[in-house]
């Protein structure tokens, strides 16, 4: 959303209503129409207001929707979230955008107009959580920073997602997943021995940041249930990337003592290899004392068990390159499915590399019901994952479709107490609704 000069949100009569910290079931969202119009789950009855673009903030809100929350996405009048048209799409709905924004309602408020800000304020007074991912300083200039919204709703959980944090040498730079991957060490770690650094070909930093945002938000809601107090949550993509990478990725940079007590060892990543079979690709690691005999038996190389280079785990680590070369040569001579079957028969963990267009056919994925194929408005048949966490008491389910821009503005305004005449006037004056 574009930046704007400071604007103070006026407290309207609608916004001065009492804020019930423990939202009752009766105040649950009045969602109507469409697939998954009512979505049960542990967050049913909670409302999340999202003012975000791109991936990290929006997907955090979608994860809340998967858990049953009513998520209202506030978008800008000219085009909305700019991710809408990125990549593979039908009309003006992109597949990536739809995956990241399912389960929400879309409203369009012009936050550069005082009345648009006041409408956002009305939403916030009824909300449990507000999520924003503006660059540092923009929320303050818009008048929707944490102190401003806290004045309207003291119990609000306010979540700020950023690329680099609120201060520091990078805050004026744009942050994207690939930028943070490069800075965090992830790209360097992807280099094979002697090879070049490589990006993880997935927006992993955005998504792990989204997951952490939801984890933190749920903890803050629990604190609020105990104390009645909301709080401000701040998290940055670079902090999340380094934290996520650290346990295994930085294992050789954790113990800093130079007193000789550290015994060097292989990096976990050194064993993360994909090997070519006669007709496919396979991944396996079997160097432990319990698995190495099975590997030797499966590959028909019992002499490896008595080879002085490979007698113990320490020996195999010291001679990892030689063992890896032998394994690669042996594996390359065998058909992949035959190899997997014999390795499994000897209890060696392994898997063939599944092509992207065949993941939905994997027997375990099918058995688990990980993916569903169903009809969605405007785009027809889609394939998408169901919420992956299963609750025994409060089961979650896929909710409504990813919304069209401005699809629910009138609906939400009616819930806030505005009549049709008032809504028409707001649209006529450009306070709400999309503009070409």
Tell me if 40 sits within 8 A of 397, measured CB to CB. Answer: yes
What domains can be seen in the chain, in order of their start residue?
A: 13-245+371-428 (3.40.50.10540), 275-352 (3.30.1540.10)
CB crowding 314-326: b at 16 or more within 10 Å, else e = eebeeebeebbeb
Q: How far apart are CA 313 and CA 301, in angstroms?
A: 17
Residues in the chain with pLDDT values less than 70: 1-39
Tell me if 142 sits within 8 A of 3, measured CB to CB. Answer: yes
Collect all residues with Cβ–Cβ distance below 8 Å to 366 and sequence separation of at least 6.
360
pLDDT digits (tens, 9 = 90+) for 387-423: 999 998 898 888 889 899 999 999 999 999 999 999 9
Average pLDDT across the chain, whole number: 88
> What was the pLDDT predicted at 39?
52
- Where are the strands (E) in 156-223, listed by range? 157-162
Name the token pair of 341: 């079957």
List of long-range contacts for 333-339, beta carbons under 8 Å, 24+ apart? 333/278, 334/277, 334/278, 335/277, 335/278, 335/279, 335/280, 336/277, 336/278, 336/279, 336/280, 336/281, 336/282, 337/280, 339/277, 339/282, 339/298
Backbone angles phi, psi at 351, to 5 degrees: -160, 145
Catalytic residue among 81, 206, 406, 410: 206
> What was the pLDDT predicted at 55?
93
> What was the pLDDT predicted at 31?
34
Q: Is 175 left (phi over 0), alpha (psi -120 to 50) or beta?
A: beta
**Residue 410 a catalytic site member:** no
């Amino acid at each position: 959303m574009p930046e704007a000069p400071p604007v103070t949100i006026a407290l309207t009569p609608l916004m001065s209503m009492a804020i019930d910290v423990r939202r009752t079931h009766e105040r649950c969202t009045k969602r109507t129409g469409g697939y998954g119009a009512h979505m049960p789950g542990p967050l049913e009855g909670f409302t999340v207001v999202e003012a975000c673009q791109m991936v990290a903030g929006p997907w955090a809100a979608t994860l809340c929707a998967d858990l049953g929350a009513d998520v209202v996405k506030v978008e800008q009048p000219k085009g909305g979230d700019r991710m809408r048209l990125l990549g593979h799409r039908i009309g003006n709905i992109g597949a990536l955008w739809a995956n990241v924004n399912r389960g929400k309602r879309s409203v369009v408020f012009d936050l550069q107009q005082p009345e648009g800000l006041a409408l956002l304020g009305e939403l916030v007074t009824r909300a449990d959580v507000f999520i924003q991912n503006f660059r540092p300083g923009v929320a303050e200039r818009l008048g929707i920073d944490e102190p401003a919204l806290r004045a309207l709703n003291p119990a609000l959980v306010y979540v700020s997602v950023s690329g680099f944090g609120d201060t520091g040498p990078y805050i004026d730079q744009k942050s994207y997943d690939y930028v943070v991957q490069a800075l965090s060490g992830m790209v360097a770690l992807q280099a094979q021995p002697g090879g070049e650094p490589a990006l993880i070909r997935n927006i992993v930093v955005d998504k792990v940041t989204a997951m952490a945002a939801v984890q933190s938000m749920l903890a803050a809601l629990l604190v609020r249930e105990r104390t009645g107090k909301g709080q401000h949550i701040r998290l940055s993509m670079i902090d999340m990337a380094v934290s996520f990478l650290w346990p295994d990725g930085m294992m050789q940079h954790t113990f800093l003592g130079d007193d000789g007590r550290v015994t060097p060892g292989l990096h976990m990543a050194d064993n993360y290899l994909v090997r070519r079979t006669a007709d496919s690709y396979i991944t396996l690691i079997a160097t432990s004392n319990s698995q190495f005999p099975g590997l030797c038996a499966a590959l028909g190389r019992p002499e490896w068990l008595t080879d002085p280079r490979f007698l113990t785990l320490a020996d195999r680590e010291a001679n990892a390159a030689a063992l890896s070369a032998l394994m690669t040569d042996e594996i390359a001579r065998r058909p992949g499915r035959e190899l997997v079957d014999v390795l499994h028969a000897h209890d060696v963990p392994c898997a063939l590399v599944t092509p992207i267009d065949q993941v939905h056919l994997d027997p375990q994925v099918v058995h688990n019901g990980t993916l569903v194929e169903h009809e969605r408005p405007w785009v027809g048949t889609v394939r998408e994952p169901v919420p992956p966490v299963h609750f025994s008491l409060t089961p979650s389910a896929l909710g409504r479709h990813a919304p069209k821009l401005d699809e629910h503005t009138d609906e939400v305004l009616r819930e806030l107490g505005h009549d049709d005449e008032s809504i028409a006037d707001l649209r006529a004056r450009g306070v709400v609704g999309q503009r070409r």
